[in-house]
Amino acid sequence: MRRYNRNEEVKILFLGTPEIAVKPLLGLLESGFQVVGVVTQEDKMSGRGLEKIEIPPVKKLALKANLPVFQPHRIRKDFSFAKELQFDV
């Protein structure tokens, strides 16, 4: 396992969806870490009759921070987007 020192620029690919994952992502951003992208679940239909689109909380923060957002249908089968990001962690 590679170790990183505090002075080294580390590229982070953040994976998370629910509200509880917003605080760690916000902490990384406020601490100056380089978050190169966010992977989260797909938007879902909700409400009576499924007429409302529910956007994951982590996606909302990522869009506010102008981060690339990836919402693969199956992450185990579709992880090709991550190769282009050249992330460390």
Residues 6+ away with beta carbon under 8 Å from 73: 42
Q: What is the pLDDT along the chain (89 residues), one digit of tens a residue?
A: 677 666 568 899 999 999 999 999 999 999 989 999 999 999 988 877 778 889 999 999 999 999 999 998 887 777 777 778 888 88
Predicted TM-score of the model (pTM): 0.84
CA distance 3 to 20: 27
Contacts of 1 (CB under 8 A, 6+ apart): none
The four Cα atoms 81, 83, 84, 86 give a dihedral, to 10 degrees, of 130
Domain ranges of the chain: 11-79
Angstrom distance (rounded) from CA 55 to CA 46 = 10
